[in-house]
Structure 1
Amino acid sequence: MYVYETGDADAPSTILLLHGGGVAGWMWRPTLERLPATVRVIVPDLPGHGRSADETYRSHEETARAVAGMLEERAPGGALVAGFSLGAQLAVLLAATRPDLVTGAVVVSAQARPLRFARTTLGLLAATAPLARRRWFARLQAKQLFIPDELLPDYVRDSARMSRENLLASVGENLRFTVPAGWAGFTEPALVMVGERERKLLHDSARDLHESLPGSRMTSVPGCGHGIPLQRPDLFARALTDRVQRRP
């Protein structure tokens, strides 16, 4: 799994950023530009994505174990784990299964209720998957994902690079995800974020995650859809900075 690190290697606080499905670690570039240089940040490309495109995405559980192994090596004291969409589900799973490695969680736009008719959705995705290799189609998808112009070449490149098998496996895991039992026992600070303009399913999921974890906070970000870190990187970077500096 490809891993990128930035910031102060000797910083007392570490942030782990987990990207969404169909993109890669480059989606965090606007956030990284707004974080203080004194913070250490670890950004992996998850299996099947970006520079880890040759790796197989088998399951959320296996991916979470791989990320935990990477943290044991690079940040054994733990990290603030922030994830978006698919990455947010992995952040929840890490907090639930390896709380010793998670000093806090920021969960952005995580679906936590299984999608009805998931099989039909995956069937349609399988049929249209070859279009992802077409530049015009990737550009249309990028608009829906709020990807800014400066990141468009990265998205177009990685859309063509991602295999049909990894796309279906990662999306299938995303659509079937439910709140893991261990989440309710996570004792570190947790923030659940959802865009004001996101689908009802995402708002319901955010409430499920918030209500099942005593002491967690939930916020709806005005004007945002399914793309808070890309639409409001200033707000998102500030939320991360506040948490590593232990502000309320």
Structure 2
Amino acid sequence: MHVRSSGIGDERAVLLLHGGGVAGWMWKPTTELLPAGLRFIVPDLPGHDRSSAERYVSHDQTVSELAAVVEREAERPVTVVGFSLGAQLAILLAANRPDLVERVAVVSAQAEPTRAPGLTLSLLSATAPLAKQQWFAKLQARALFIPASLMDDYLRTSARISRETLMTTVGENIRFTEPPGWAQFPGAALVLAGAGERGFMKKSALSLHESLPGSELEIVDGCGHGIPLQRPEWFAQRLGNWLAQ
């Protein structure tokens, strides 16, 4: 797995986990706006961009690999920030390895399984080749709020992603449920969802919050499914304030 690290080793470490179909570059607006004194650990998840040669096997396998990354890159427990697919991985890492996670921010995580997942995956299989077409990728970029400064990164990532990665990651995503260990996570937790997201996404955020006593929940006005890229200044400030608590 390709991992980019920045900052000094003894600084407070933040593991940033991107969503499906993008890569670690999506966090550039966030890291540029967060205060100094943080160390960032930013992987490209299996099957994505610079890790496109690595097969995405499952969420569980990826979380095991991420735990190894944390053990290698950090000298103490880290803050984990995950978006969408990455938010599900953040939940699993916090639930399964609380010894490695000090606090966790969950941004737009689906935790309510999709009805008729087979139909969703059949449609995805039929349209998967379009992801490699630049005109289609640009349409998708608008839906994901990709800024012009990151468009080349998105087009490169979209062209590299395989049908197998798409099918596996989406299949894992739409079947995801809250793991048993989530309710026992001892660290701080922040759960965010956009006010303009679909109902099951906001329901997922509420469920994750209610399952974990002491967690914070915020439904973000003016956002759909894309908070870190749709409102980067707000997101960095909110995250920075939470980290300073």
Q: Normalized against structure 1, the TM-score is what?
A: 0.97
State the SS of the aligned residue for 2:33: coil
Corresponding position of 2:17 = 18
Corresponding position of 2:132 = 133
Aligned partner letter, 1:8? I
Contact 1:8 1:37 in 2 (8 A): no
Determine whether 1:3 maps to 2:3.
yes
Runs of 4+ in 1 over 6 A off after TM superposition: none
Equivalences for 1:93-242 in 2 at 5 Å? 93-242=92-241
Residue-pair matches, total: 245
CA distance in 1, matches of 2:215, 2:111: 16
Contact 1:112 1:205 in 2 (8 A): yes
Of 169-178 and 34-43, the range deviating more from structure 2: 34-43
Contact 1:118 1:175 in 2 (8 A): yes
CA distance in 2, matches of 1:41, 1:116: 36
Q: Which runs of 5+ in 1 are unaligned?
A: none
CA distance in 1, matches of 2:88, 2:184: 16
Corresponding position of 1:34 = 33
CA distance in 2, matches of 1:129, 1:180: 29
CA distance in 2, matches of 1:10, 1:71: 13
State the SS of the aligned residue for 2:235: helix
Aligned partner letter, 2:43? P
Contact 1:142 1:152 in 2 (8 A): yes
CA distance in 1, matches of 2:106, 2:215: 11
Contact 1:78 1:102 in 2 (8 A): yes
Corresponding position of 2:69 = 70
Shift of 1:244: 2.9
Of 229-238 and 187-196, the range deviating more from structure 2: 229-238
Aligned partner letter, 1:104? R
Q: Which runs of 5+ in 2 are unaligned?
A: none
CA distance in 2, matches of 1:76, 1:99: 15
> Which whole-Å deviations, capped at 9, do the CAs of 1:4-56 have from their partners, x for residues lacking one?
11233331x11110000010000001101101232111100000011000001
Q: Normalized against structure 2, the TM-score is what?
A: 0.98
Percent identity over the alignment is 58
Shift of 1:236: 1.7
Contact 2:9 2:39 in 1 (8 A): yes
Q: What's the C-alpha RMSD, in Å, of the aligned pairs?
A: 0.9
CA distance in 2, matches of 1:244, 1:213: 18
CA distance in 1, matches of 2:239, 2:207: 22
Aligned partner letter, 2:53? D
